[in-house]
Amino acid sequence: MTTDDAGPADDASPAWFVARDAESPTDRIRDGAADAPEDWPALAVESGFADHEDDYYATLREATVEAARAAVDERERADDRQLLHAVRAMDDADRVANELAERVAEWAGTLFPDAGTGVDGCRDIAERDPDGPAKKRVVSLATRVADLDREADELEAFIESRAPVAAPNMAAIAGPVLAARLISLAGGLETLAKKPSGTLQVLGAEDALFAHLRGHGSSPKHGVIYTHEYVRGTRPEDRGSASRALAGKLTIAARIDHYSGDYRPELEAELDERMRTIRARAETADGGEAE
């Protein structure tokens, strides 16, 4: 039975089965709302939408399952989810390439006296013309390593092009790859936008954090945001302050990116000013020691 059979139901009704414009029952379940519950099973039967209440509930179940499936598909295609998959794939490709490169170097060393090491060594071996079955296999494996390394580079280029679209403020402050990695670690931009800055600050340092909670280590000051120049390039005694400043701005950036999506350059300017203040401590300290 279709919504066209719904009979004399009021078009203003919030009931999901009432036909309105071009919306399907699935659309109305996803987008609709009601101020107060009504006896929709009885209304559905009265209007002719359903033959009986069991028929109504069977149709409702089918529509809600379809709505849930459509919502999941839509979510998985979202820009931030694509970044999540891309950065994980890039890291996997890079990790596997380096692991296999070690194997190639060990094996190739028994066959090629001048064999190099690492991914660069694999590129060199991949260009050789093997003259036996063992060398053929080593050259083939080295070619796979070179291909994986190339794929990692292409995934990085994809991330650098897409991150400013999915998270313009985070990409501007952290750089596209670090922004994508934070989104990936959080499980998505929406999840990241709901986290406090203290949690964002230690994303990627979960092992150290859990060890600290068990009493086996000190509390980590930072996670993957350490790779940002504002943290890595700050003297050790000021890295805690630098991490908090960066995490605070990134948290605000994540919320703006998720809820509005507009780029706000003032966030970068505010962070730059804060970092100048933090780094001025080092200059003051060095001046005091010199005196």
Higher pLDDT: 50 or 166? It is: 166
CA 35 to chain centre: 36
Residues 190-216: tens digit of each pLDDT: 999 999 999 999 999 877 766 656 776
Residue 291 pLDDT exceeds 60 = no
Q: Are residues 55 and 122 in the same domain?
A: no
User: Residue 262, Cβ neighbours under 10 Å: how many?
Assistant: 9
- Looking at the structure, tell me whether residues 109 and 125 fall in a common domain: yes
Instruction: Show the 3-state SS of the chain.
Output: CCHHHCCCCCCCCCCCCCCCCCCCHHHHHHHCCCCCCCCHHHHHHHHCCCCCHHHHHHHHHHHHHHHHHHHHHHHHCCHHHHHHHHHHHHHHHHHHHHHHHHHHHHHHCCCCCCCCCHHHHHHHHHCCCCCCHHHHHHHHHHHHHHHHHHHHHHHHHHHHHHHHHHCHHHHHHHCHHHHHHHHHHHCCHHHHHCCCHHHHHCCCCHHHHHHHHCCCCCCCCCCHHHHCHHHHCCCHHHHHHHHHHHHHHHHHHHHHHHHCCCCCCHHHHHHHHHHHHHHHHHHHHHHHHHC
pLDDT at residue 139 in the model: 97
- The CATH number for 239's domain is 1.10.246.90
For residue 144, is pLDDT > 50? yes
Question: What distance in Å separates the CA atoms of residue 20 and residue 16, rounded to the nearest whole number?
Answer: 10
Domain that holds residue 203: 167-291
Do 260 and 175 reside in the same domain of the chain?
Answer: yes
Asked whether residue 123 falls in the same domain as residue 105, the answer is yes
Residue of higher predicted confidence among 77 and 18: 18
Determine the pLDDT at residue 61: 80
Domain identity same for 236 and 272: yes
- Same domain assignment for residues 242 and 271: yes
* Same domain assignment for residues 187 and 252: yes
Work out the average pLDDT over 78-97.
Answer: 92
Of residues 53 and 172, the one with the higher pLDDT is 172
- Rounded Cα–Cα distance for residues 144 and 122 (Å): 9
Question: How confident is the model over 49-72, as pLDDT tens digits?
Answer: 888 888 888 888 887 777 676 665
85 shares a domain with 47: no
- pLDDT range class, residue 153, cuts 50, 70, 90: very high
Looking at mean pLDDT, say which of 8-17, 55-64, 69-78, 213-222 comes out highest: 55-64
- How far is Cα 200 from Cα 16, in angstroms, rounded to an integer? 40
Among residues 165, 194, 209, the one where a domain terminates is: 165
Check which CATH number belongs to the domain holding 106 and give it. Answer: 1.10.287
156 lies in the same domain as 264: no
